[in-house]
Chain A
Amino acid sequence: MTTSYVLKRLGVFLLVMWGAATFSFFLPRIADVNPIEERMAQLASRGAVSVGNTEAMIKNFEKRFGLDKPLAEQYVRYLWNTARFDFGFSIAFFPTSVGSIIREALPWTIVLLTVVTFMNFTIGVLLGAVLAWPRAPAFVKVVAPPFMGLSAIPYYLIGIGLIYLFAFSWQIFPISGGYNIGSTPQWSSAFLWDAVRHSILPAASIVLSGIGFWAIGMRGMMTMTMGEDYMLLAESKGLKGWRLFIWYGMRNAMLPQITALALSLGHIVSGAILVEVVFSYPGIGGMLVQAIRNFDFTLLYGIVYLTILGIAIATLILDLTYPRLDPRITYAKG
């Protein structure tokens, strides 16, 4: 791996992050929405603050958020703070910082979706590869179509069905949340078990819909790979079936799937917003929806920035590792 390639790639990464920060700085200013006034109006309409006090509070907020400084200074400060993951205070939960809200929600989302994404990928890719394999056992052809059908349906809709069946009708799993309401998050086996039980339905809804997605992509790639000349030569070498399947077929057909895996890992932060909403899961998606409802712009932009960061990191890792997977790609071309 050449140093210049790595440096160049890192440069692109920083450029993207700078672009994202700049975008999230200017958009609310272009959109002509003053987040503070919006928020104050909302509070006032609920009778939380009297109209007379609003003016003073707005001044106070603007000062604390640094909105009274010239634009250029605001921008530089914003960039510097963003780089340190300091997104300021949440507008809705004022004294709480955006950073601490995100820190609390992020692990829930990351753990759930990382596990689920790898599960989807593994099962789906295997299923898809087997489907395109002429010597596959017959039952696979029966198992596959339901997953293909489910893959067309968004997973939160499947989640609603699962809640009705498993949480309401049969009461096997908890209805919503990430853990029992009485308990506080801690590293105890009882709490972890509780958290796992709560995550089974959200995970199941994503897996049910996700497997088919990976299987369809893989089946297409594997079908094309089966037609390649090197598969014919490999078979004429009298290779054992499993070696042919894994090291000649799947190994080649999987290359685009790995790109897709990296991208979907990058999308983890925003990947399951609606599943989290449906299950009231305490992750980033739920936070995002709250931010939308509360016009909590600082929280909203913090989450957006984080999402873009996730995608940028995923593509960076992919670009740095892909040449190891596909010898035809060289670093020089980056």
Chain B
Amino acid sequence: MSEPVLTIKDLRVSYQTPKGKVRAVDGVSFSLMPSERFGLVGESGSGKTTTALALLRLIKPPGVIESGEVHLAGKNLLSLSEEQMRRVRLAELSMIPQGAMNSLNPVATVNNQIIDGLRDHGVNSPKHVLNERIADLLKRVGLEPSVADMYPHELSGGMKQRVTIAIAISMGPKVIVADEPTSALDVVIQMQVMETLIGLQEELGASLVMIGHDMGLMAQVVSRIGVMYAGKLVEVGTVRDILLSPLHPYTQLLVESLPSMESKLTRTRRPRGIPGITPSLLDLPAGCAFRPRCPKAIEQCSTITPPLEKVRADQWTACHLYGETEKQDGIPAKA
């Protein structure tokens, strides 16, 4: 068994708001094997994007990373100096942003936006070598070399997102964090861009953390899924386990709400949502945050917050329903 490339331990991120402190990420732990694809799923406000930003230490005030560890290839990123962290970004850990529409500098050419990243990580090749390297990068993400001299407003949404992928792989990182990389694109282009991204990730041997809210799309892409609810991971497992035998009632409802192939054909059952509303992080219920919406809540749910524990070989959940089975805590990793 090889060593995980990325390990996150008990990560906590909070925001200071006028109405009080809000913990957007509350004790998240998981790990990632080399070249593994891991999906982080949850409703908006569940803390998945905050987790992604925290990995790169890009949380802005009034947000702050309170505690935790992020180990990338032996380094604890949270204890690095600002300058050391800067060197890690792009070179070892890169990001594909959520809003490709406005993610590129509107007044700089694609060429310059790629070169800037290379130069600040010690690439001092002469101009023509760099140009060749950029042409190659663009080719790998499926773009013409002429795109290099274009400005962002001259590109379509899909092209822009391909450029951000080119930037993300430009230094050959160990881990790529992709925050809903295709949510702004239409469905056909979504799949094409996703295929490009996965092809490149496999080619590079990089690991991928994919953030998303669409369980169906996620299941087609990643091998393991972590489900987030109100800042906490409530279940981690392989795609197969999560889809076929989900443990946490929230995951069960999420999976049930997916339109199945059968229902698509017969239209007998409308996909239904999860009753109740997402709780406000300012005013979380005591005990399990999902209890007010949970159809299977038991007494201790309203007093004790269930920890994330291993229930089956490859499957972890934070739920009191599995209290009697033998449990094991630690960091959920691929077996």
Give me the interface of A with B, judged by CB distance under 8 Å.
134, 228-230, 232-241, 243, 247-248, 251-252, 255, 325-328
Main SS at interface, chain B: loop
Q: Is the CB of B108 within 8 A of A233?
A: no
What is the chain A residue whose CB lies nearest that of B95? A236
Which residues of B sit under 8 angstroms from A228, Cβ to Cβ? 102
A74 to B61, CA, bound (A): 68
Say yes or no: B153 contacts A327, CB within 8 Å. yes
Output the nearest chain B residue to A249 by Cβ-Cβ distance: B105
The residues of A that contact B106 with a CB separation of less than 8 Å are 230, 252, 326-328
Residue B103 interfacial (CB < 8 Å)? yes
Report the minimum CB–CB distance from B93 to chain A (whole Å): 9
Report whether A248 and B105 are in contact in the complex, using a CB–CB cutoff of 8 Å: yes
Q: Is the CB of B120 within 8 A of A236?
A: no
Say yes or no: A238 contacts B102, CB within 8 Å: no
Q: Chain B residues near A235: list those with CB within 8 A.
A: 58, 89
Q: How far is the CA of A249 from the CA of B266 in the complex (A)?
A: 54
Please report the C-alpha to C-alpha distance between residue A241 and residue B89 in the assembled complex, in whole angstroms.
Answer: 13
- Supplied contacts A229-B97, A230-B106, A236-B95, 14 more A-B pairs, CB within 8 Å: A229-B99, A230-B103, A233-B95, A234-B116, A236-B94, A237-B90, A238-B87, A238-B90, A239-B120, A241-B86, A252-B105, A252-B106, A327-B151, A327-B153
The answer to whether A326 and B107 have CB atoms under 8 Å apart is yes
**Residues of B contacting A237 in the complex (Cβ-Cβ under 8 angstroms):** 89-90, 94, 116-117, 120, 167
Report if B293 contacts A (CB, 8 A): no
On chain B, the residues within 8 Å of A247 by CB distance are 105, 108, 116
Judging by beta carbons under 8 Å apart, are A134 and B99 in contact? Answer: no
Tell me which residues across on chain B come within 8 A of A233, comparing CB atoms: 95, 97, 103-104, 164, 167
Is B269's CB within 8 Å of the partner chain A? no
Question: Once the chains bind, are B107 and A236 in contact (CB under 8 Å)?
Answer: no
B19 CB–A CB distance under 8 Å: no
CB-CB < 8 A to A230: which residues of B? Answer: 102-106
B88 touches A (CB below 8 Å): yes
A229 to chain B, nearest CB (A): 4
Q: Determine the residue in chain A with the shortest Cβ distance to B121.
A: A238
Which of A134, A238, A251 has a CB less than 8 Å from the CB of B60? A134
In this assembly, does B40 line the interface, its C-beta being within 8 Å of a C-beta of chain A?
Answer: no
Cα–Cα distance between A229 and B105 once the two chains are bound (Å): 9
Interface: B254 (CB within 8 A): no
* CB pair B86 A240 closer than 8 Å: yes
Say how far B182's CB is from chain A's closest CB, in angstroms. Answer: 15
* Closest Cβ–Cβ distance, residue A230 to chain B (whole Å): 5
